[in-house]
Amino acid sequence: MRSRHALSLLPLLPALAITAACGDDTGRDTETAATITDSGLTPATVTDSTESNPTSSPTTPTEGSASSTVASGVSDSENTSGVATGTSDPTATTTGASATTDNSTGPVSGSTSVGESTMACACTPGEAGGCEGDQQLVCSDDCTGFVATPCAMGQVCKGDACVALFCQPGEKVCEGEAATKTCNAQGEAFDPPVNCADSEGCSVGQCTSLCLIAEATPSSVGCSFFAQRMDNYSNNANDSMIVGNVSKTKAASVQFYVTPVGGNVEQAQGGPVVIMPGKTATFQLATAPFNKVSGLRKGGSYRIQSTIPVVAYQHSPIGAQATNDASMLLPEHALKTQHIVASYKDGLGAYPSYFSVIASADNTTVSWTPPQNTQAGTGVPAVAAGQTGQVLMNRFDTMEVRVGNGGDISGAFVSSDKPIWVVGAVNCVNVPNGVTFCDHIEEQMLPLDYWGKKYVGAHSPKRGSEKHYYRVFAGEDATTITTTPAQPGTPIMLNKGQWKEIVIPNNTSFIFESDKPFLPVQYLEGQDGGAGTGDPASYQMIPVEQFLASYAFATGTGYTTHYAQIIRQKGGADVKVDGVVVNGYYAVGEYEVADWKISEGGHLAESDANFGVTVVGYTGVTSYAYPGGLQLAVINPQ
């Protein structure tokens, strides 16, 4: 067999030191050769031989060897002893040479074949060899050198290894609620934090308007609120709009606006008012209200605009006159289009049950379907029970719709094609009918979107031996409401817009539940029913799904007693009012309730967990009550 290695090595011969001995008369040659190995040139095996076949042709070395001897001639015949006997071509000028082969098989460790020769490896495949920028140098599979290789996502090369980044270069995160910080270019640390502007907070690593953040997570906290002076038993005293700053660190700058009757452009009333953290400010609502009539008018509304989120309440009026009440106000961004009105029967026959509307956008179509006939007025049509009336309103316009004397507009369905502000009210009402004294009641109605399926029916803070009155409104057809423990008149089965009144014994609390959205409204009994003080007021119960972790609120003025009624999970996180831990709870199912006495003025209630607050005040022949606030998660989409 011819050996191809000898032929392939011929180009290397000029680099070799080859010595050939001249032959004598007997034909004996002395041959000198050099062996090529993987480590370079080494002395070759030298063999003296006699030509065996003068006519044979040159041969190639045996295949499969890792080292070869280069000679001046090779034999055509194979030598099984491992030594090839050289022969001479008849025309050759040298007498012969020999070649030896290494019979071992496979590559020699630490070498690589380049072309037809073996070359040394530069590195071990997979071996790390340092960094090139952010990439790791890794020995290639053919061991010829190092190749720059990207590290895995979130890693960078340090030293000679890929290591996890502390942060992604350029990444921005929030530092607390009011600052951002940026990851440095090496991904090793964050640069020092940068404070956001006074009207901004941090959201998803960016400084963002606090008002926009509030809109993204709707609650009774916001930056724009509407109000309207309400139609009362006596319209001699102005209503008040109370604004509370819920921030612990930032001051709120609040501008108060009025849109005069007959106009549609709001006007600033004085300059901005600065409200410090946890404090409140009071604004007067002096525009003449509707006076016990249905009517539609251009303008007539109020609005506040704050630089940071606040809460707002309306007191009608704020002082302890014989007829007043209060309502939590909803921020403009949380207004919706579908409402069911809660009011009460005008038992005196002269102080109507009604609802009021403020439009938040131009060209708003407002419709209502009442359970009783509603009266006509300027710009408002008369509407028969079960029929639907309709008007067109622009932003800042106001409307009042009333039923006849002795009537009750409760259960009226008020809808619109753009968000509106809706309040259910009575000029002056006895609860129950015939129990003195009468009092004004009002509530900005929670849109159907925010109604829940579970409520704590905590009785109003005890005054005496009074009973507790509730009306329960259904948000869908075939709604069944149960109470635990069971109360007189329950369970309750209703269709959408229907309601039922239940009377609960003194000092009794319980849980309301249903598989469909509903709304309980509690009414305070007149003082001559056994309470001994206070008079009717109304307040919507807040679904447990909509509790918040902090509230800023303000009491009325001139009342004997004020309460913050706290509802939390049984054994839950402490609730603090003005920094003082609330105690004195009583159990209601898996919840517990505390009627916490507070002083007149503004207050801040907070906890590490969500809880509910209702604010209630009593004095002789009058009272007020309203929810302290709520989340406004859409749990009942319309």
Question: Residue 456: pLDDT above 60?
Answer: yes
Question: Residue 14: pLDDT above 50?
Answer: no
Helices (H), 59-209: none
Query: Of the ranges 107-121, 284-298, 353-367, 395-409, which one carries the lowest mean pLDDT score?
Result: 107-121
Residue bearing the bigger pLDDT, 61 or 556:
556
- Once rounded to an integer, what is the mean pLDDT over residues 109-136? 76
pLDDT category of residue 324 using cuts at 50, 70 and 90: confident
> In degrees, to the nearest 5, what angle opens at C-alpha 379 toward C-alphas 374 and 385?
20
CB atoms < 10 A from the CB of 259, how many? Answer: 23
- Residue 319's pLDDT is 75
Q: If you count DSSP H runs as helices and E runs as strands, how many of each does the chain have, helices first?
A: 2, 48
**Residue pointed to by tokens 């041959």:** 31
What average pLDDT does the chain have?
Answer: 85
Q: What is the DSSP string of 289-317?
A: PP-SS-EEES---EEEEEEEEEEEEEEES
Question: Residue 43: pLDDT above 60?
Answer: no
Structure tokens at 2: 């011819």
- Residue 134's pLDDT is 85
Question: Residue 351: pLDDT above 70?
Answer: yes
CB 620 within 8 A of CB 532: no
- Residue 234's pLDDT is 85
CB 509 within 8 A of CB 483: no
Question: Residue 504: pLDDT above 60?
Answer: yes
Question: Residue 70: pLDDT above 80?
Answer: no
- Once rounded to an integer, what is the mean pLDDT over residues 53-68? 39
Q: SS3 breakdown of the chain: % helix, strand, coil, rounded to 5?
A: 5, 45, 50
pLDDT category of residue 37 using cuts at 50, 70 and 90: very low
Tell me the three state secondary structure of residue 66: coil
Percent of the chain scoring above 90 in pLDDT: 72
- Once rounded to an integer, what is the mean pLDDT over residues 417-425? 98
Question: Residue 187: pLDDT above 50?
Answer: yes
- Residue 86's pLDDT is 41
- Residue 582's pLDDT is 98
Residue bearing the bigger pLDDT, 277 or 49:
277
- The H or E element spanning position 591 is strand 591-598
- Once rounded to an integer, what is the mean pLDDT over residues 453-474? 98
Question: Residue 78: pLDDT above 60?
Answer: no
Query: Of the ranges 238-247, 312-321, 404-413, 560-569, which one carries the lowest mean pLDDT score?
Result: 312-321
List 400's β-bridge partners, or say none. Answer: 295, 356
Query: Of the ranges 30-39, 147-156, 478-487, 515-524, which one carries the lowest mean pLDDT score?
Result: 30-39
User: What is the tens place of the pLDDT at every residue in 384-407?
Assistant: 999 999 999 999 999 999 999 999
- Residue 588's pLDDT is 98
- Residue 28's pLDDT is 38
- What is the distance between the alpha carbons of residues 445 and 339, in angstroms, rounded to a whole number? 7
Question: Residue 18: pLDDT above 90?
Answer: no
CB 388 within 8 A of CB 192: no
> Of how many residues is the chain composed?
638
- Once rounded to an integer, what is the mean pLDDT over residues 206-226? 95
Structure tokens at 68: 């070869």
Cα distance from N-terminal residue to C-terminal residue, the chain? 94
Question: Residue 108: pLDDT above 80?
Answer: no
User: What is the tens place of the pLDDT at every residue in 264-311?
Assistant: 999 999 999 999 998 889 999 999 999 999 999 999 999 999 999 999
Q: What is the CA radius of gyration of the chain?
A: 47
pLDDT category of residue 10 using cuts at 50, 70 and 90: very low
Question: Residue 556: pLDDT above 80?
Answer: yes
CB atoms < 10 A from the CB of 205, how many? Answer: 14
Close Cβ partners of 26 (under 8 Å, ≥ 6 residues apart): none
- What is the distance between the alpha carbons of residues 235 and 261, in angstroms, rounded to a whole number? 17
Residue bearing the bigger pLDDT, 186 or 287:
287
Question: Residue 544: pLDDT above 50?
Answer: yes
* pTM for the predicted model, two decimal places: 0.76
- Residue 117's pLDDT is 53
Query: Of the ranges 104-108, 209-213, 564-568, 572-576, which one carries the lowest mean pLDDT score?
Result: 104-108
**Residue pointed to by tokens 């350029």:** 170
pLDDT category of residue 354 using cuts at 50, 70 and 90: very high
Structure tokens at 232: 């009362």
- The H or E element spanning position 506 is none
- Residue 118's pLDDT is 65
- What is the distance between the alpha carbons of residues 85 and 50, in angstroms, rounded to a whole number? 8
- Residue 56's pLDDT is 40
- Residue 116's pLDDT is 47
Q: What is the DSSP string of 337-364?
A: EEEE------TTSSS-EEEEEEESSSSE
For 98-156, give the secondary structure using H, E and C: CEEECCCCCCCCCEEEECCEEEECCCCCCCEEEEECCEEEEECCCCCCEEEECCCCCEE
- Residue 6's pLDDT is 36
- Residue 524's pLDDT is 97
Question: Residue 194: pLDDT above 80?
Answer: yes
- Residue 150's pLDDT is 95
- Residue 554's pLDDT is 83
User: What is the tens place of the pLDDT at every residue in 586-638?
Assistant: 999 999 999 999 999 889 999 999 999 999 999 999 999 999 999 999 999 99
Write the DSSP symbol of residue 183. Answer: B
CB 376 within 8 A of CB 294: yes
Question: Residue 189: pLDDT above 70?
Answer: yes
